[in-house]
A and B are shown apart, each in its own frame.
Chain A
Amino acid sequence: MSQIIEGPRRTNVWGKDIEPDYLEPRTRAKGLRSGGHAISVRGLEKSFGDVRVLRGIDLEIPAGQFLAVVGKSGCGKSTLLRLLTGLDEPTAGEFAFSDAGGKPVPPNSRIVFQEPRLLPWEHVLDNVTVGLGRGVKSGAVREQARAALAEVQLTEKADEWPGRLSGGQRQRVALARALVSQPDFLALDEPLGALDALTRITMQALVDRVWREQGFTALFVTHDVGEAVALADRVIVLDQGKIALDITVAVSRPRERGTAEAAGIERRLLAAIFGS
């Protein structure tokens, strides 16, 4: 199953780049990280005019948890993500970050959007340095950016223009940009939604691997129930601005696809989403 792990870039017979496999972590969790931030959400509400998008969300996310949020379009899942990352202000309610020991900390979060949102006029490596803030291009900054690119196996594309990469590669650069500052909380807003089905599978394995290596708390918003079950420790279903279901996915990692256990969880989630 894991015949090709190293050899960062693979090409098909036409010489076209294809997504490498990410079946095993290249480096097992190093224990460098303290394990991300815990997030405590109380009575979070958000209205746009008369429309109440979120109607009181209470949620405890333990440090280092991989939480997936699923639900129909307009259920408020992206709004929740935008609130927790500070992109929007809540109408009511509050949330707080604390470290693994329970001490309150300032947020240290990053976002991966559905679109890669790379700067087309900067080389791949410079795009990754954006993640370190303060456009300083000292040697250390570039060194870290190179390391982040290596993490997503795109070292050899460092000096390419983003326009010359495939969709999957661009999203990997976006992931490297988010990871380079070693965030304690990573929010992913349907990051694989625009990719083709096969690229998605390899990208899911990549997300799973970097999460296990870096140990951040992950909030993964998706409309794909199967994807949520494949990646998350815990899945919540949002329906009309409230949490309709909150279940733990106690499947050991690395996970196999298409098991009966996963199918059972998916069925429960779908039932909650469609309210039957």
Chain B
Amino acid sequence: MSLATDIGKTAIPAVRFPSRLKLRRPKLDAVAPFLVPVGLIVLWQIASSLGLIGNRLMPAPSQVLSAGWEKLISGELAANIGVSGLRAISGLLVGGSISFLLGLANGLSRTSFTLTDTTLQMIRTVPNLALIPLVILWFGIGEEAKLFLTSLGVFFPIYLNTLHGVRTVDPQLVEMGQVYGMRGWTLFRRVILPSALPSIFVGLRFALGIMWLTLIVAETLSANSGIGHMAMEAREFMLTDVVVLALVIYALLGKLADIAVRLLERATLSWHPAFQAVTRS
């Protein structure tokens, strides 16, 4: 590896492509991922305008846009996004922190693992959405229901991956740390946690996906605010443009969450070979 990168550092510049090409490349890389979605929207708009797609069932992008604008002006959109976002984040915080701590505890302590892991694995096999009838009976359609479901949804990806990360710490590094006098918190902070971090991030990404999924279902079934509620209300009045608007917003929020994790990864995993190409170029 070091041979290749060292050569790349010094030998390549002499034979590099003309600077015109070199300058254009990063721009293309930034734009390319959006070519397909934008192209599809353009095609969709054209098909709608030509009347190939019926407006009643599938609105044109321009209609979705104007619906979005209306909701934005009225403040309804911001309020609903705010409510949904708050639900998502609080679910992630509650479920995520409990599962993270349990994952750490079970990875570090044999006793804790023996006592709790089997129970958790049994609960894991129950799809969390199957609990909706019960949850509605318990909590009604209040915030507790949504918090409970999203917390449960994010719980297992984070728990499993944290546990896996802690258990796969290189025992040679742990021994080295102990030889050099690291104990308890220092050993955890300098050896175990950084080593488990890539795995924890994998769990976090899975959790974010499940977080939105759970929230959407919970909001569509039982809520009086939020994006899901907005979509359900629009269905009753056959406002397909608002329904599609809700979908678009979910897609954007999901992408936003993914970007946030990526930035977090880049900030904390810059040592990792997989992230070095990004930081260097």
Q: Is the CB of A119 within 8 A of B179?
A: no
Among candidates A11, A85, A163, residue contacting B179 with C-beta atoms closer than 8 Å = A85
A117 in contact with B172 (CB, 8 Å): yes
Query: Hey, what's the 0/1 contact readout for B165-195 against A, CB within 8 Å counting as 1?
Result: 0000000110111011110001001110011
Asked, given contacts A15-B7, A163-B271, A163-B273, whether A113 binds B2 with beta carbons under 8 Å apart, the answer is no
- Residues of A within 8 Å of B197, CB to CB, are 121
B15, chain A: closest CB distance, angstroms: 13
Contact assessment for B194 and A117 in the assembled complex, using a CB-CB cutoff below 8 Å: no
The complex places the Cα of A121 from the Cα of B1 at a distance, in Å, of 17
Interface check A165, CB cutoff 8 A: yes
* Contact between chains at A15 and B190 (CB < 8 Å): no
Chain B interface residue count, CB cutoff 8 Å, equals 31
**Given A117-B173, A117-B176, A130-B180, are A122 and B9 also a contact pair (CB < 8 Å)?**
no
For B1, B6, B172, the residue with the greatest tally of chain A CB atoms inside 10 Å of its CB is B6
Within 8 A of A (CB), among B54-74: none
Whether, in the assembled complex, B278 has its beta carbon less than 8 Å from a beta carbon of chain A, the answer is no
The reply to whether B6 and A135 form a contact with Cβ atoms under 8 Å apart is no
How far is it, in angstroms, between the C-alpha of A96 and the C-alpha of B182 when the chains are bound? 24
State the 5 A-B residue pairs at the shortest beta-carbon distance, nearest first: A15-B10, A133-B181, A121-B194, A117-B176, A121-B271
Smallest Cβ distance from B247 to chain A, in angstroms? 40
Among residues of A, the one whose C-beta sits closest to the C-beta of B193 is A121
* B residues in contact (CB < 8 Å) with A: 1-3, 5-7, 9-11, 172-173, 175-177, 179-182, 186, 189-191, 194-195, 197, 269-273, 276
Cβ contact within 8 Å between A113 and B10 = no
Contact in complex: A14, B172 (CB < 8 Å): no
In the bound complex, residues from chain A placing their C-beta under 8 Å from that of B276 are: 161, 163-164
Known: A161-B276, A163-B271. A14 touches B11 (CB 8 A): yes
Please, how many angstroms separate the alpha-carbon atoms of A87 and B5 in the complex? 37
Q: Are A15 and B179 in contact (CB under 8 A)?
A: no
Given A115-B172, A121-B194, A163-B276, CB of A14 within 8 Å of CB of B181:
no
Residue pairs across A and B with Cβ atoms less than 8 A apart, 5 shown, are A15-B10, A120-B271, A130-B176, A135-B186, A163-B1
Contact of A122 among B2, B175, B190 (CB under 8 A): B190
| Tally of chain A residues near chain B (CB < 8 A) | 27
Alpha-carbon gap, A121 to B173, bound state (A): 12
Inter-subunit contact A164/B175 (CB<8 Å): no
Complex Cα–Cα for A166 and B2 (A): 6
A109-138 interface (Cβ within 8 A of B) = 110-111, 113, 115, 117, 119-122, 130-131, 133-135
Q: B195: shortest Cβ distance to chain A, in Å?
A: 8
Distance in angstroms from B78 CB to nearest chain A CB is 40
**A15 CA to B197 CA in the complex, in Å?**
34
Chain B residue numbers with a CB within 8 Å of A119 are 173, 190-191, 194
Contacts of B194 in A (CB 8 A): 119, 121-122
